[in-house]
Structure 1
């Protein structure tokens, strides 16, 4: 491995960016989570599951595919799906083409819950982030965070 590289400490500008990122992501996440809990009784992870399922043909995805597109662990996904199942918003069934595969399926009640909760959710996202920024700032943020996410996104071999 060779000799360890010398630590590159953050300078004032870099520290300001890091602290700004930490505060903004924490506050935006809390704002959106609170809105969804109060208005729809959903966690942000549960809302995202409903969104992902609603965007597919037939409203269903294999659990493994669903896990890849979400920002939660596999055990976290299993827990959230269980919570959605208890409320009748999602159900699980075996995958007809793979004995080991399990499908998460959006129910009509799940589709309705998403339809009811989407306007409040988008309003919270606008209030906390989108409407605070100028169009050029939104473009720069999308590019920058897309690059960060891409660099850290797990690759299929991981």
Structure 2
């Protein structure tokens, strides 16, 4: 290996590295501000907000738990835990899936929709101020156009909840 210990490897593209770190920094700063706002305005975590928003935006107000775990990028057990907290707060209900006897469906309640109604104005303000204020409408569309194929590429892999994991030498399904 040549160079000083502080030099990046020679094959690192500085443009890609710069884009990567800019994206990570922007998402970290934005998520931090959003998490603060959600906690202050509604006692919500980012994951619980994502769950409620996905349910709210669904035409039926419901999702299968496995599909929702994949959508919000959380493990099935992690979603089960979050759904339990939301259910105890009266924001969602869980029930057996009508399409799959082993599946569980989660549905937003009127209280969940009311909570979203309280936190969404502040959420939209934070996102607008931090992400969209420095961008023109054309820039925002360009950003969406640039990120869509990246998101689609990342989502093309099998959902995490259906990929078997190896435990103790045996394949196991995520419970």
- The structure 2 residue matched to 1:40, chosen from 29, 42, 47, is 42
RMSD: 2.0
Q: How high is the TM-score relative to the length of structure 1?
A: 0.85
Moved over 4 A (4+): none
The aligned counterpart of 1:90 is 92
- 2: distance between equivalents of 1:119 and 1:76? 27
- 1: distance between equivalents of 2:97 and 2:39? 31
Higher helix share: 1
The structure number with the bigger radius of gyration is 2
- 1:115 and 2:117 matched: yes
Instruction: Give CA deviations for 1:86-127 in whole Å, capped at 9, x if unaligned.
Output: 211011111233211111011111111111111111111111
- Work out the number of aligned pairs and report it: 152
1:154 Cα shift?
4.1
Secondary structure of 1:72's aligned partner: coil
Does structure 1 conserve the Cα–Cα contact (< 8 Å) formed by 2:55 and 2:107? yes
1:59 Cα shift?
1.6
- 1:50 and 2:25 matched: no
Secondary structure of 2:78's aligned partner: helix
Q: How high is the TM-score relative to the length of structure 2?
A: 0.78
- 1: distance between equivalents of 2:99 and 2:153? 33
